[in-house]
Amino acid sequence: MNILHVMCTNFLSGSTNYVLSLSKKQIREGHRVFIITDDGTLETEAKITPLPISDRTYRQRFNNIRFIRQFILANDIHVVHAHSRASSWVCYFATLGLKTPLVSTIHGRQQLHTSVKIFDIYGDQVISICPNLTKHLIEEVGMSSQKIHNIPNGAEFSLISELIAEQENHAPVSRDILLIGRLNGRKGEIAAQIATRVFPELLKKYADIRLFLIGGGYNELPQHYRQAINNLNQQYNQRIVVTGFVNDVPKRMLGAYAIIGAGRVGLGALALRKPLFAIGEACYHGLITEANLQAAIASNYGDILPTKNFPGFDWQQFYRDLDCFLENAYYCPSAQMQHYVQDFYNVEKVYRAIHGVYEKAIACRIWRKPIPILMYHKIPDKPIESLHKIFVTKETFRKHLQIIKWRGLQPITFKEYLAYTRGEKSNQTAPKRPIILTFDDGYQDNYYNLLPLMNQYGYKGVIFMLGDTRIRYNYWDADKGDHRDELMNEQQRAAFVQAGWEVGAHTMTHPDLTQLCEQEAWQEIFNSKNALEHETGNTVEVFAYPFGFYNQQVKTLAQKAGFAMAVATDRGGLHIEQDRFEIFRTSIFPHDSWLQMLKKTSSWYRKYYRWKRKI
């Protein structure tokens, strides 16, 4: 996939680390990654292009839009990922009319400018880094919840165990408290208040403590704060240490007695099992324990509340909390809390979730309307006596193909669909009017009648077969009195693979999965994938629920088994991306007229069907 990240770097922030960490992982996974930002000197393996994204003059915005649009086309970009309001703004206009979608990660509360109200500047899909921010986007910004994905900032924890082993989890010898974060803007104001209102009494009471202010922007603090800190240093033997920006933050954190901070600082401290006093731009949580961890995660460790009405900081409470902490035995976050945090923010999980958002954004940008997905079963020479009416004759099917061709529809497979969403194929080559033809069970008449007709028209479809090739007829219906129909043998099944069809799994033996215990259902689903992959030599990406019966457990098992999607019958969302494991298919019956086929092959039919059935 060709990925373009666009961000502001007029000052170093958590979002910059977020982009650099994500792009590093993406490059490792084989993607081509580009970054357009103010600072062209960032250390990254991605191809970086300097552009004044932070310059919001209309002249420069216009130039930025033009440049980014040309960049997208020249580099066949599959998805644009913006990381600030300024970058989202220009990327929104740069991607207008293109098949390249815009995904925005929102790292903090948004100001309700006119452009936000008039234009959908955040693009096709939005990543929100914490629950409080999501609530703000829905309730105050007015964003649709359907396009928002809660995905935290990911972090790389591979060096954590080595760092921790160096100190063997003992309390530090010195009692250095690190306040980490930007020292300009609102965060700088908060840091200065902590240093000048909370720490004077602590420095007086505890002669062995020091406060380190770590972060850039100290010289931007108002003069009276810097003077107050200088006065305290003269009084308390230079025990407020201003380091400025440093590169070895994790190692410094490991040697600290306690950490004060928000955002990535918070999760980093807990991952190192360091005591954390979480305070950010919005609120103060105090010392983080199991009791208040979820509240801290929801606010990104104090940075974000769902409302703009922030409570004032109780500096006396902050003093009492620190005093109690310093007075008593050393507190170390539990290993259980550490493991939870490392799992929650694991960069691998975050990476997979973000790429899921990319795929959804690409699919919905390429195909804004629902793709018709038809479900067939038997294709006999002539009508048969069938209780369930799951057949169309050979001649009827020929007429269906004629209608498909006449309408200018292009049959694709789910694998082709996934190839576009994964960036394996260029967005620009995607068919404008796709249709997916699916065939369940693998009946012998599919080999004799279906395959030749599809070959004649140059079409390929998706055939769902059983993993157990010893099953030779439709016992699940025939043994209950319905028409008996033979299933294909191995050689006949192989003909579909050779013709380039996609083979999907339909369990091993065609049971009702909702009536099985979890272990039995798992074996049916997982073993069918393995069996068919061994038989065909291809990866099996899609699963079909027998009888169309499924529940949440069955859906979860299909996902756990490694399928990328699963198809239902007449249930599911309007668009595939609403739920890839509950994909709506339209059943085709022998009595369907040409008018019915016109409806069923239309993008609006699914919505009409749900309205008609009051679903």
CB-based burial, 450-478: b 16+ in 10 Å, e otherwise: bbebbeeeebbbbbbbbbebebeebebbe
Residues 338, 340, 343, 346: what is their CA dihedral angle, to the nearest 10 degrees?
-60
Instruction: Report the Cα–Cα distance between both ends of the chain, in Å, rounded.
Output: 37
Q: Count the Cβ atoms, other than its own, within 10 Å of residue 180.
A: 26
The model's pTM is: 0.88
**pLDDT band with cut points at 50, 70 and 90 for residue 391:** very high
Strands 284-287 and 276-279: antiparallel
Mean pLDDT of the chain: 92
Lowest mean pLDDT among 2-16, 130-144, 340-354: 2-16
Q: Residue 173: what pLDDT? A: 65
Taking only the tens place, the pLDDT of each residue in 116-128 is 667 789 999 999 9
Domains 160-345 and 371-610 share a fold: no
Residue listed under structure tokens 């954190």: 253
What mean pLDDT comes out for the span 541-568? 97
Q: Does the pLDDT of residue 9 top 90, yes or no?
A: no
| Alpha helix stretches (DSSP H) within 169-304 | 185-193, 199-205, 223-235, 249-254, 264-271, 293-298
Q: Residue 342: what pLDDT? A: 93
The Cα angle at residue 466 between residues 460 and 472, in degrees rounded to 5: 105
Helices 518-536/490-498 angle, 10° precision = 70
Q: Distance between CA 179 and CA 522 in Å, rounded? A: 50
Taking only the tens place, the pLDDT of each residue in 153-183 is 888 777 666 666 655 555 566 799 999 998 9
**pLDDT band with cut points at 50, 70 and 90 for residue 13:** low
The Cα angle at residue 372 between residues 560 and 150, in degrees rounded to 5: 45
Taking only the tens place, the pLDDT of each residue in 41-91 is 888 999 999 999 998 899 999 999 999 999 999 999 999 999 988 999 999
Q: May I ask the CATH architecture of the domain 371-610?
A: Alpha-Beta Barrel (3.20)
Q: Residue 581: what pLDDT? A: 97
Reference 528, options 578, 566, 499; nearest CA is: 566
Task: Classify 201 as helix, strand or coil.
Answer: helix
What mean pLDDT comes out for the span 24-47? 92
Q: What percent of the chain has pLDDT over 70?
A: 96
Q: Distance between CA 77 and CA 84 in Å, rounded? A: 19
Q: Does the pLDDT of residue 11 top 60, yes or no?
A: no
Residue listed under structure tokens 């949580």: 285
**pLDDT band with cut points at 50, 70 and 90 for residue 114:** low
Q: Residue 384: what pLDDT? A: 93
Q: Say if residues 583 and 566 touch (Cβ distance below 8 Å).
A: yes
Parse the chain into domains and list their residue ranges: 2-150, 160-345, 371-610
* C-alpha 402 chain-centroid distance: 40
Q: Say if residues 341 and 271 touch (Cβ distance below 8 Å).
A: yes
Q: May I ask the CATH architecture of the domain 2-150?
A: 3-Layer(aba) Sandwich (3.40)
**pLDDT band with cut points at 50, 70 and 90 for residue 431:** very high
Q: Distance between CA 585 and CA 562 in Å, rounded? A: 21
Instruction: Give the sign of the dihedral formed by CA 591, CA 597, CA 603, CA 608.
Output: negative
DSSP 156-179: --TTHHHHHHHHTTPPPSSEEEEE
Taking only the tens place, the pLDDT of each residue in 473-505 is 999 999 998 999 999 999 999 999 999 999 999
Cross-strand partners of 502: 462
Q: Which amino acid, residue 82?
A: A
**pLDDT band with cut points at 50, 70 and 90 for residue 15:** confident
Q: Distance between CA 330 and CA 332 in Å, rounded? A: 7
Record: fold of 160-345: Rossmann fold (3.40.50)
Q: Does the pLDDT of residue 270 top 80, yes or no?
A: yes
Cross-strand partners of 462: 438, 502
Q: Say if residues 238 and 220 touch (Cβ distance below 8 Å).
A: no
Taking only the tens place, the pLDDT of each residue in 187-209 is 999 999 999 999 999 999 999 99
Taking only the tens place, the pLDDT of each residue in 97-112 is 999 999 999 988 887 7
Of residues 93 and 162, the one with the higher pLDDT is: 93
Instruction: Give the sign of the dihedral formed by CA 514, CA 519, CA 524, CA 526.
Output: positive
Reference 209, options 219, 199, 221, 220; nearest CA is: 199
DSSP 217-241: -GGGS-HHHHHHHHHHHHHTTT-EE
Q: Distance between CA 507 and CA 464 in Å, rounded? A: 9
Q: Residue 165: what pLDDT? A: 61
Q: Which amino acid, residue 335?
A: A
Taking only the tens place, the pLDDT of each residue in 247-257 is 888 889 998 99
